[in-house]
Structure 1
Amino acid sequence: MKTPNIRFFSPGENTVIVKESVKAKSAASGYISTSGKIVLPVSTLRKLGINAASASFMIGSPARQKTIKSIFLVPASEKDGAFSFQKSAGGGYAIPLAAILKKGGVDFESAKVPFLVTEFDYSQGITGYELRLQEVRPKPAYTGKPRGRKPKQALAEAS
Structure 2
Amino acid sequence: MDDQTEPVVIEPPFASAAAMQPESAPIWKATEGQIVNARWIFLSLIGFWLLLPVLWTAWRMIRTACHTYSLTTQRIRERSGVLAVQVDELELYRVKDIAVLQPLVQRLLGRGQIVLLTSDRSTPRVVLNAIPAQAKVADLIRAHVEQCRVQKGVREID
TM-score, structure 1 as length reference: 0.24
TM-score, structure 2 as length reference: 0.24
Greater relative contact order structure (CA < 8 Å, 6+ sep): 1
Structure of greater Rg: 1
